[in-house]
Amino acid sequence: MIVKEKPKAFYDTFERKGAGQEVTHYCPGCGHGTAHKLIAELLVELDIQDRTIFLSPVGCSVFAYYYMDTGNIQCAHGRAPAVGTGIRRTHKDAILISYQGDGDLAAIGTAEIIHAANRGENMTVFFINNAIYGMTGGQMAPTTLEGQKTLTTPLGRSSGRDGNPIGMAEVMDAIKAPVYIERVSLSTPGKVLKARKVFKKALENQIDKKGFSFVEVLSPCPINWKMDPVEARSWMQEHLEPLYPVRNFRDGSHLPVPHDDFIPFMKEDEIINLLSSGGAIPDVKASESDLEQRVKIAGFGGQGVLSAGILLANYAIASGYEATWLPSYGPEMRGGKANAGVIFSNRSIGSPVVAEPNVLIALNSPSLTSFENDVEPGGLIMVNSTLVREEVKRDDVDVLYIPASEMARESGVLATANIIMLTIYLKYKGLADTELLRKVLPLSVKRKDAVDLNLKMMEKALAYYDRELA
């Protein structure tokens, strides 16, 4: 007995304007609805609905989030594989579905799909190739056929003028890492059933952590092809399928899992080794109370802005916090503007962007001017008073003026002003575990003589704090 029902992975009603909350917004005969249904059925059959994150692209299928009762993220045009890559770094068991049209994947998102494939990201990509930009009214896509009339090629695509149609499954096949590549078509009921099997395998590969699976789906867009749904299916068989043969390109699903996990980042590993070899894994103060430090360290290139950020992030990790480090610098090797945003917290960090710091360490004058107003009320501004002549105008923040460059100059290396500011900041906030700082410092400062010098400056900063600020 064949039971016809809406797959449970679909919402009961679909949010949209006006009536028709139980039907999709797709045009009659559109392939997106068919592809959605196959995927939704498989999410239930494979019991993965609860851990699926659907990456909606830009294009007609953007509204997948109105239909799929899964996790949903709407990605910038073409960026779904990059978003999936980011999610994979923190959600090892999520099932990631990157569902993209030909404009999205083969035009604006070419770089993202190539590199995600090249890394063998454990995700499943459904590439809906309808040979046209559907949502925007039928412009030429990279997959548009030679001679095919579109809004932007009214006399037909000409390879001499517009380039040749791209076979994305063939492009994927030139890359070593993907485990599974197949092209299917939705032109006939038989081919839809075959597509279902392929979809299933592409999802099973991900469940088994086999890596990157790519399914190209030839799909009708009757309205922009200026055909009725029946004509559109005939056209697919007569024109689309001969150019884009429906076949398997690669099936490595029987091969062993290439890599089950991520190799930890070097620094983190080094820190853990260092701390455990000394038998000194620190008490994690982190869990005692909520803490989130959003630190902006800013100055000019050569002041050690970025390395101060790395040191702080490493120190935070070694203290048991979650930490991120996000550098920003100009094109100049030396002398341009530079800043590093470091966030550390005992909670998960959603984004590494430090837009509203609660600590600003301004090593030069332009940094104070640029970021003073961004600091959260009640936050802390630390000013390198040797180089910054201005006073902080805000009266709703704590301010520390430290002659850091002057202190550094006495040691003979101006660039050590960064460690002075950092040490005083940690001390001021009650976050300085000097023993731990001494251990972590060599990981962030590679040259032996620089390590000794920085350690000396750290001691000098601690003495300054006790003398002037305690």
Ligand X SMILES: Cc1ncc(C[n+]2csc(CCOP(=O)(O)OP(=O)(O)O)c2C)c(N)n1
Q: Does 186 bind ligand SF4 (CB under 6 A)?
A: no
Instruction: Write out the H or E segment, with its range, that includes residue 293.
Output: strand 292-300
223 binds, among ligand SF4, ligand X, none (CB under 5 to 8 A by kind): ligand SF4
- Selected from 61, 98, 324, 339, the binder of ligand X by CB under 6 A is 61
Q: How far is the CB of 111 from ligand X (least distance, A)?
A: 14
Q: Please state the closest distance from residue 184 (CB atom) to ligand SF4, in A.
A: 17
* Of the candidate residues 107, 117, 221, 457, the single one contacting ligand SF4 (CB under 6 A): 221
CA–CA–CA angle 14, 19, 25 (5° rounding): 50
Query: Does position 134 bind ligand SF4 by CB under 6 A?
Result: yes
- Identify residues 12-41 at the interface with ligand X (CB under 6 A): none
Span of 9-17, 52-60, 370-378, 438-446 interacting with ligand X by CB under 6 A: 52-60
Q: Which of 51, 90, 87 is nearest to 68 (CA)?
A: 51
Question: Which of ligand SF4, ligand X, none does 133 bind, CB closer than 5 to 8 A by kind?
Answer: ligand X
Close Cβ partners of 381 (under 8 Å, ≥ 6 residues apart): 359, 360, 362, 368, 372, 375, 392, 394, 397, 398, 399, 400
What is Dmax (Cα atoms) for the chain? 87
Phi/psi at 56 (5° precision): -80, 140
CA atoms within 13 A on the CB side of 418: 28
Which residues, including other chains, have CB under 8 Å from residue 401's CB and lie 6 or more apart? Answer: 383, 385
Residue placing its CB nearer to ligand X in the complex, 76 or 275: 76
DSSP code, position 392: P
Contact pattern for ligand X over residues 197 through 226, marking x by CB under 6 A: ------------------------x-----
Using CB under 6 A, which of 80, 116, 117, 141 touches ligand X?
A: 141
DSSP-based three-state secondary structure for 305: helix
99/300 with CB nearer ligand X: 99
Among residues 84 and 138, whose Cβ is nearest to ligand SF4? 138
The separation between CA 337 and the C-alpha centre of its own chain, rounded to angstroms, equals 25
Strands 359-362 and 292-300: parallel
Q: Can residue 26 be called a binding residue for ligand SF4 (CB under 6 A)?
A: yes
Binds ligand SF4 (CB under 6 A): choice among 7, 9, 30, 457? 30
Report the residue number, 130 or 423, with the smaller CB distance to ligand SF4. 130
Q: Using alpha carbons, select from 253, 336, 235, 323 the residue that is nearest to residue 286.
A: 323
Do strands 337-345 and 292-300 pair parallel, antiparallel, or not at all (unpaired)? antiparallel
Stretch that binds ligand X, among 100-108, 155-163, 339-347, 419-427 (CB under 6 A): 100-108
End-to-end CA distance of the chain: 81
* Contact of residue 141 among ligand SF4, ligand X, none (CB under 5-8 Å per partner type): ligand X
Query: CA-to-CA distance for 416 and 409, rounded, in angstroms?
Result: 8
Residues 40, 41, 53, 102: which binds ligand X (CB under 6 A)? Answer: 102
Distance of alpha carbon 425 from alpha carbon 461, whole angstroms:
10
Tell me the closest approach of the beta carbon of residue 221 to ligand SF4, in angstroms.
3
Q: Which of residues 241-280 bind ligand X (CB under 6 A)?
A: none
Contact 120, 258 (CB under 8 A): yes
Tell me which residue of 121, 342, 145, 105 sits closest to 241, measured CA to CA.
145
Question: If you ran DSSP here, which 8-state letter would residue 152 be given?
Answer: S
Whole-angstrom distance, CA of residue 141 vs CA of residue 162:
10
* Binding partner of residue 26 among ligand SF4, ligand X, none, CB cut-off 5 to 8 Å per kind: ligand SF4
Considering beta carbons, is residue 224 or 345 the nearer one to ligand X?
A: 224
* Interface residue with ligand SF4, options 40, 48, 53, 60 (CB under 6 A): 60
Contacts (CB under 6 A) with ligand SF4, residues 114-133: 130
- CB contact at 8 A, 238 and 230: no
Indicate the SS3 state at residue 258. Answer: coil
Rounded least distance, CB 107 to ligand X, Å: 7
- Nearest CB to ligand X, comparing residues 142 and 211: 142
The DSSP annotation for 410-449 comes to: HHT-GGGHHHHHHHHHHHHTT---HHHHHHHHHHH--SHH
* Smallest distance from ligand SF4 to CB 165, Å: 18
Taking CB positions, which residue lies at the least distance from ligand X?
101
d(CA 399, CA 28): 64
Q: Is 59 in the site for ligand X (CB under 6 A)?
A: yes
- Among 60, 80, 305, 402, which residue sits at the site for ligand X (rule: CB under 6 A)? 60
| Residue 368 host element (H or E) | helix 365-371
The answer to whether residues 158 and 144 touch, using CB atoms and an 8 Å cutoff, is: no
Work out what residue 103 binds among ligand X, ligand SF4, none; the CB cut-off runs from 5 to 8 Å by kind.
ligand X
130 or 454: whose CB is closer to ligand X? 130
Choose from ligand SF4, ligand X, none: what does 314 bind? Cβ within 5-8 Å by kind: none
Nearer to ligand X, 133 or 371 (CB): 133
For residue 138 the two structure tokens come to: 């039928």
Binding site for ligand X (CB under 6 A): 58-61, 77, 101-104, 128, 130, 133-136, 141, 221
Binding site for ligand SF4 (CB under 6 A): 26-27, 30, 32, 60, 130, 134-135, 221-224
